Amino acid sequence: MLGDRMQKAFNDQINAEFYSAYLYLSMSVYFEDAGMEGFASWMQVQYLEEQSHAMKMLDYVCERGGRVHLSAIDAPPAEWKSAEDVFVATFEHEKKVSGLINSLMSIAREENDYASESFLRWFVDEQVEEEASAEAVVNKVRMVGGAGHGLFMLDRELGQRTFTAPTGKGE
């Protein structure tokens, strides 16, 4: 059974994960409008990942006998200055989410909730990957100068990314 504090923290994080999905969907639309289908596709994969993270947490709260309380999702931004601006925002957002996950882990430890601590380890590891992935794209966009043939080639490369759903509850 989840304690009240842990349950509230998970509910807040579920909302944050759905916001992340919404943010990446907005970024995808921005890239679609700019004719950058590969960048848009990369963001659509990100959207699907964040949705799966939210559902994974939602399922966990239910499995532990908790109650999920969905709350309103804030509207994300819709405009950015450039591809670099979008990916800098993505990298900053992923660092923020890492902090939120770390706070959840701290609560689990303070509450001696070993099951939640075990569950959250996957998310801690996932955030390392999320930050590295976003930072790598920032670096590539900067390398090509944010324009021209390099950006076209990067758009093609990013379009190759695919979503792989987690295969089970603990993965």
| Amino acid symbol at 118 | S
Instruction: Give tens-digit pLDDT for 74-104.
Output: 999 999 999 999 999 999 999 999 999 999 9
Q: Does the domain formed by 4-158 have CATH 1.10.1300.10?
A: no
Positions of the chain with pLDDT lower than 50, given as ranges: 170-171
> How is the chain split into domains, by residue range?
4-158
- For a pLDDT cut of 90, what percent of the chain falls above it? 88
Q: What is the pLDDT of residue 162?
A: 86
Cut 0.75: pTM above it: yes
Q: What is the pLDDT of residue 71?
A: 96
Residues 6+ apart with CB under 8 A from 152: none
Q: What is the pLDDT of residue 170?
A: 46
